Amino acid sequence: MIQIPYEDIISKIKEKSSMSDAEIDMKINEKLKQLSGLISKEGAAHIIANELGIQLIEMNGKLQIKNILAGMRDVEILGKVRNIFPIKEFQTKEGRQGKVASLIIEDETGMIRITLWHSQTDCIENLKQGDVIKIVGGYVRDNNGNKEIHLNDRSKLVINPEGETVGTYQKPAAERKDIVGLREGDNAVVLGTIVQVFDPKFFMTCPECGKKPVQKENLFSCSQHGNIMPEWSYVLNLFLDDGTGNIRTVFFRDNVEKVCGKTKQELLTYKDNPEKFNDVKTELLGNIVKLEGRAVQNKFFDRLEFIANKVDLNPDPEQEVKRLENSA
């Protein structure tokens, strides 16, 4: 089944209709009310797009990266190689041997990871950064909210097809926003005060891909990399308030270290001694921070959250207020 994230539906409606976020929100809320809440926000957005005559899924010919959706099959796409990662050999729980490799490609509309399985990994040896590749017969998976194109033995990868060129992706600058103005899918910069901090949560991950491994007796297995020696990672939640509203903000791995001012080794000591983290909480409370990240809808709790990917612990509040006023 092809999955269209809510923010992608909204982005497509904005692109094709020139409607504002507020106008789209109003139409979706009206549709939810009209249908007595017996439909999800995604479903309501689908209906709005259909009523406006907007095609959400484009399947004809080569696709641009921005139009790739989880669940698509037989995907044809053209992209330029941005990063190449080495081949990894693994053994499945059933004892079968396999190989996997990956690379990042880009076009004018975005970037996406390409995962090559088994015999397809042979292509890696002939690839270099900047090469143009054409993929035929790929299939798209969702990996923790990120879309990936996978190639199996039936897929085809052509290096530097004749007459084909691809531009470079320029990531849109994050927009400075008040918390009250955040909408799902926004790539934004927010400035606020830390008003509540929760204990960090620790979890095991595959050291190669970051996925959660499966434990069976004393062995840990990754779906991509077979039997592994897992490593500990962490996530931190806190509430940020800027006077217009507050929002739960989530930090992963390196950004937990940045916001806490601690090394990985120091943070791991709190796994077995959580009470010692109380001093860190006290130090963080009341601090003003500037964060760049993405607003996402937590579907389990039905709330908007902010995933931080850049942390500034020493912003200039006056300068940030002027920046917000100038962008209004």
Phi first, then psi: what are they for 276, rounded to 5°?
-70, -15
Phi first, then psi: what are they for 282, rounded to 5°?
-60, -40
User: Are the CB atoms for 77 and 68 separated by under 8 Å?
Assistant: yes
Q: Is 249 left (phi over 0), alpha (psi -120 to 50) or beta?
A: beta
| Residue of 122, 105, 109, 128 whose CA lies nearest to 156 | 122
Q: Is 81 helix (H, G, I), strand (E, B) or coil?
A: strand
Integer-rounded Cα radius of gyration of the chain: 22
User: pLDDT (tens digit, 9 = 90+) per residue, 203-234?
Assistant: 998 887 777 888 877 788 887 677 888 899 99
Asked whether the domain spanning 175-327 has the same topology as the one spanning 65-159, the reply is yes
Residues 147-158 as b or e (16 or more Cβ within 10 Å = b):
bbbbbeeebebe
Residue 14: its H or E element: helix 6-17
Domain boundaries, given as residue ranges, for the chain: 6-51, 65-159, 175-327
Identity of the amino acid at 298? N
Residues in the chain with pLDDT values less than 70:
1, 58-61, 93, 144, 224, 321-328
Rounded Cα gap, residues 7 and 19, in angstroms: 14
| Residue of 248, 256, 227, 223 whose CA lies nearest to 303 | 248
* Burial class of 39 by CB neighbour count within 10 A (0 to 12, 13 to 18, 19+): middle
Rounded Cα gap, residues 67 and 59, in angstroms: 9
Classify domain 175-327 by CATH architecture. Beta Barrel (2.40)
Give how far Cα 256 sits from Cα of 64, 110, 292, Å. 34, 27, 14
Spacing of C-alpha 115 from chain mean position: 17
User: pLDDT (tens digit, 9 = 90+) per residue, 164-179?
Assistant: 999 999 888 889 999 9
For the domain made up of 65-159, give the CATH fold.
Answer: OB fold (Dihydrolipoamide Acetyltransferase, E2P) (2.40.50)
Give the list of residues 6+ apart from residue 40 with CB closer than 8 angstroms, or none.
none
Q: How big is the CA angle at 200 (ends 196 and 204), to the nearest 5 degrees?
A: 155
The predicted model scores a pTM of 0.62
pLDDT score at 116: 94
Give how far Cα 32 sits from Cα of 25, 43, 217, Å. 10, 9, 48
Rounded Cα gap, residues 178 and 102, in angstroms: 38
DSSP string, 179-203: GGG--TT-EEEEEEEEEEEPPPEEE
